[in-house]
Structure 1
Amino acid sequence: MKTIEPGETDGFKVRLKTQTWAEGLIFVIAIWLLSRLVIFVAMQLLAPVSPISPVTHSGTLPLDYTPDFVPQTSWNLFAHWDGAWYRKIATLGYDYAQDGKYHSIAFFPLFPLAIRAVMSLGLPSQIAGTLVNNLALLGALWLLYRWAEERYSVSVARWATAVLAWCPFSLYGTVVYSEGLFLLVTTAALRSFDQGQYTKAALWGTLATATRSTGVALIPAFLIVAWQEKRPKIAYIAGLAAMGGLLLFSLYCAIDFADPLAFVHVQQAWKSQHPNWFRVLINALKLDEENLLRVVTFWGGGYLLWYLRAKLPPVAVAYGFCSLGIILATGSLSSVSRYVYGIVSIALALGWLFASHPRWGYLTLGLFAVILVRFALRFAWWYWVA
């Protein structure tokens, strides 16, 4: 198999390099729209007629779950699991008590605030949440495309955005989850820092740490790269300023609940849901699909970042490893594959790889599309999609 370097300029690459800004935007919109349409059809049209048995949840039932649930076409299908919590926050605000039970303070504020803002237009929370997440994912795809195009070529840009759009876990960029928004703000922060735009990097970093706890990975990533590349002092300031979203959320918790770390303490209620790595690895060896995906996404993503560390922007590599380190330290393994999907550095790395080996890229995207449909069906039926 011929290896094509992303920077080569054969006839195909020359044509790609001369494409206009508008053509790039059309590509991004098309790939976003097609992949979201596949999810919509699977959840809204196929799921209600699929011969799937209703799931049985043991222990504490998920918020808004109805026993023996059978999906019917509605916007509510997009708001299962965490979506129900985000809707509750957007409509009722936060709640918290030190009683070892589930409380909404576990979820960071920027996404529900965005939902609330869209709800002010008269839309119900499930529609508002779906719109915010999908449009944010579109923005993330466009920023990733521009970053990859500036750094490498149109070919790498197209592959990177295709990976991010068609990855099975891009399901969470359509349902009422914070994935799309998180990818948008972290990609914007990383691209800004890579280009030396430190004020923008600090602003986007602040939004990232207000969206999800793993946004704090930007802080050490910025500081490490600033030190390695001997960047100006403002680069260090940008790294520290990215902590702003987390500090503001902590201040809110201190004022409203007299506990600045309420969002940390409430995680104990979710701790029992997470398996440990020993259990995950044993089950993966038994070819259990869920745990095999956890191993492949986490450890495979780490290996890919290491293998391509010299090809990727240093800040993307640092952020990728810091994010994996946070996931490993917290032990949030029931959602590890989804968290790894939220690391844009891995999509950028796969984009570079598939631009060099397009046949493997097409095969992977085909497999992604099949799994994406399956995940969408399961999510609509209230099955956990790890």
Structure 2
Amino acid sequence: MAHDGRGRRRGGAGAASTASADTLRFPLAGSGAGPRAGRTAGARGDAAAVVFPLSVAAVHWLVVHLVASVAYRSGTPNPIVSPAYQIVPPPLAGLAQVLVEPLRQWDGTWYKLIAEEGYTGFGQAKFQAAFWPLYPWLMDYGSRLTGWTVDSVGFLVSHVAFAGALILLYRLIAVDFNEAVARRTTVALALFPTAFFFSAVYTESLFLLLVVGALLAARLGRWWVAGGVGLLAAMTRSYGVLLLLPFAVLFLQQYRLEPRRWFPDGIALALPALGPAIFAYHLRSAIAEPLAFFTAQKGWDRYDRMPWETLRCGVVGCFNVNDDPDGVTMDWLRMLLDSPSWETVTSSSFRFAAAQSDVLELVCTLLFLALAVVGLRALPLYHSAYVFPALIIPLFQPSQVHALMSIPRFGLALFPLFVVLALLVPRRLAPLALGLSTALLVLFTAQFVDWYWVS
């Protein structure tokens, strides 16, 4: 079944339509709905295309903030200090203490440090360059404008970006498929077990907003918008530069192999490549190390392996850092079987064992790989061109601490995986799948706010 090729270049007689991409028609919710050509269900003026994503975002926020507030104030915290400051971050005041403080853990402290002090390159801060600059810059500038703490600004940026990302995602999927798939995709993404990162002081929401915005603009043939937004994505996360691949697919579908027609839009296609260059220039000025974003990865215990070796390490373990072996461990399950009680599951020892088990990392990695393979038939080609490199590259650089570290979080920005979920899950099983996913979201949110490792 051919996807809608709508995506004309605006202006001039030389406008070209997007070539069709073959895909497999999946039954959706028992209705037989699949990709439908020639239909942009989420028109800009259609209120449902805005109201539904915002409603989904509101449900996500309600679940995450309710759990975060209760767990942060009544849970048993992991006795850990901020990895960025080597101290417990000072408390916030007022409403920020209720909303922001529970969701600024782990990497959030690094973004806070960069926003307040910049890239310094000294001591623990030498690892800062692993965190790309746009998000902490927004935190810094927003704090100067409003007088809020940088944590609060980052929290606001994440929430606004998440709402915007769901609206744009709804529209993009409605263009490529239909409104039913768009609805199911946004729900699956917003209530995924690790989706709390969208509400935390992390880059996930901003990156998703910029990636989806860039691809939607490219899909509609607005190449200078796509290139500019793609450049911002490439300054938010290192993987933003990988937008060059889906951009190339869409560009060739629209302009074909006719170089005379590539100018000037072909220049816009390459703009994401400037992201690393701008960051390198800034690092050269700040710490005289333009490639620090490469060398900083070693500080996070990453090493080089082939993907199959990484998967093996993710299962059986290859390292033992600080007496904490990587690989799947089931100590938490044995504790639960020995004493199946609320006291057990809320104890610090059980929660720590669950956090160190690597089960989440392995399950998410295998799930994402399976969905990506199915997506080769189910999705437009540019979706797969975005997903596969971003999913495979981390398998070449595992961590000694957790071989598959962060993949359950990285996958959140790979929205085509959630399109495949929306296409595959039958209507009769959707409530069960959604209930299980939401229950895990509750569990992992509670773990995160109490300083237990989650991806």
Q: Is TM-score (shorter-chain normalized) higher than 0.5?
A: yes
Q: Deviations over 1:235-285 (max 9, x none)?
A: 653442211121111111122222210111112111269994323123448
Q: Which residue of 1 aligns with 2:449?
A: 380
Q: Which runs of 5+ in 2 are unaligned?
A: 1-26, 317-326, 333-353
Q: Which runs of 5+ in 1 are unaligned?
A: 10-15
Letter in 2 for 1:347: F
Letter in 1 for 2:394: I
Q: Which structure 2 residues correspond to residues 229-268 of structure 1 after superposition, within 5 A?
A: 230=256, 233=262, 236-268=266-298
Q: CA deviation at 1:301?
A: 1.6
Q: Which residue of 1 aligns with 2:177?
A: 152
Letter in 1 for 2:262: K
Q: CA deviation at 1:233?
A: 2.4
The partner residue of 1:280 within 314, 323, 333 is 314
Separation (CA, whole Å) in 2 of partners of 1:164 and 1:274: 31
Separation (CA, whole Å) in 1 of partners of 2:331 and 2:384: 30
Separation (CA, whole Å) in 2 of partners of 1:196 and 1:17: 17
Q: Which residue of 1 aligns with 2:78?
A: 55
Q: CA deviation at 1:32?
A: 0.4
The 1:237–1:281 alpha-carbon spacing in structure 2 relative to 1, beyond 3 Å, is farther
Q: Deviations over 1:41-73 (max 9, x none)?
A: 1111343123x3x3245xx96234657x99985
Separation (CA, whole Å) in 2 of partners of 1:201 and 1:360: 37
Q: Which residue of 2 aligns with 1:361?
A: 430
Letter in 1 for 2:173: A
Check whether the contact 1:110–1:210 (CA below 8 A) recurs between aligned residues.
Answer: yes
- Secondary structure, in 3 states, of the residue corresponding to 1:5? coil
TM-score normalised by length of structure 2:
0.74
The CA RMSD measured in Å over matched residues stands at: 3.2
2:131 paired with 1:107: yes
Q: Deviations over 1:152-205 (max 9, x none)?
A: 111101001101111122111101000000000011112222222211221111
Q: Which residue of 1 aligns with 2:398?
A: 331
Q: Which residue of 1 aligns with 2:225?
A: 200
Check whether the contact 1:106–1:267 (CA below 8 A) recurs between aligned residues.
Answer: yes
- Secondary structure, in 3 states, of the residue corresponding to 1:260? coil
Q: Which residue of 2 aligns with 1:292?
A: 359
Check whether the contact 2:374–2:420 (CA below 8 A) recurs between aligned residues.
Answer: no
Separation (CA, whole Å) in 2 of partners of 1:273 and 1:73: 39
The partner residue of 1:209 within 205, 210, 234 is 234
Q: CA deviation at 1:116?
A: 2.0
Separation (CA, whole Å) in 2 of partners of 1:163 and 1:73: 27
Separation (CA, whole Å) in 2 of partners of 1:309 and 1:287: 37
2:419 paired with 1:348: yes
Check whether the contact 2:71–2:449 (CA below 8 A) recurs between aligned residues.
Answer: no
Structure with higher helix content: 1
Q: Deviations over 1:99-144 (max 9, x none)?
A: 7875322211111112123212121112111110011011111111
Q: More deviation in 132-141 or 22-31?
A: 22-31
The 1:80–1:122 alpha-carbon spacing in structure 2 relative to 1, beyond 3 Å, is same
Q: Which residue of 1 aligns with 2:31?
A: 4
Q: More deviation in 112-121 or 326-335?
A: 326-335
Separation (CA, whole Å) in 2 of partners of 1:110 and 1:117: 10
Q: Which structure 2 residues correspond to residues 64-143 of structure 1 after superposition, within 5 A?
A: 64=85, 73=98, 75-97=100-122, 102-119=126-143, 120-143=145-168
Q: Which residue of 2 aligns with 1:12?
A: none
Separation (CA, whole Å) in 1 of partners of 2:304 and 2:205: 23
The 1:20–1:220 alpha-carbon spacing in structure 2 relative to 1, beyond 3 Å, is closer
Q: Which residue of 2 aligns with 1:181?
A: 206
The 1:380–1:162 alpha-carbon spacing in structure 2 relative to 1, beyond 3 Å, is same
The 1:154–1:261 alpha-carbon spacing in structure 2 relative to 1, beyond 3 Å, is same
Q: CA deviation at 1:81?
A: 0.7
Between the two proteins, the alignment pairs up a number of residues equal to: 372
Letter in 1 for 2:415: V
Separation (CA, whole Å) in 1 of partners of 2:424 and 2:415: 14
Q: Deviations over 1:2-23 (max 9, x none)?
A: 84332499xxxxxx99997112
2:374 paired with 1:307: yes
Separation (CA, whole Å) in 2 of partners of 1:273 and 1:369: 34
Check whether the contact 2:43–2:49 (CA below 8 A) recurs between aligned residues.
Answer: no
Q: Which residue of 2 aligns with 1:13?
A: none
Separation (CA, whole Å) in 1 of partners of 2:179 and 2:270: 33
Separation (CA, whole Å) in 2 of partners of 1:280 and 1:5: 38
Check whether the contact 1:209–1:242 (CA below 8 A) recurs between aligned residues.
Answer: yes
Separation (CA, whole Å) in 1 of partners of 2:156 and 2:296: 28
The 1:285–1:308 alpha-carbon spacing in structure 2 relative to 1, beyond 3 Å, is farther
Check whether the contact 2:133–2:235 (CA below 8 A) recurs between aligned residues.
Answer: yes
Separation (CA, whole Å) in 1 of partners of 2:275 and 2:153: 23
Check whether the contact 1:217–1:326 (CA below 8 A) recurs between aligned residues.
Answer: no
- Secondary structure, in 3 states, of the residue corresponding to 2:170? helix
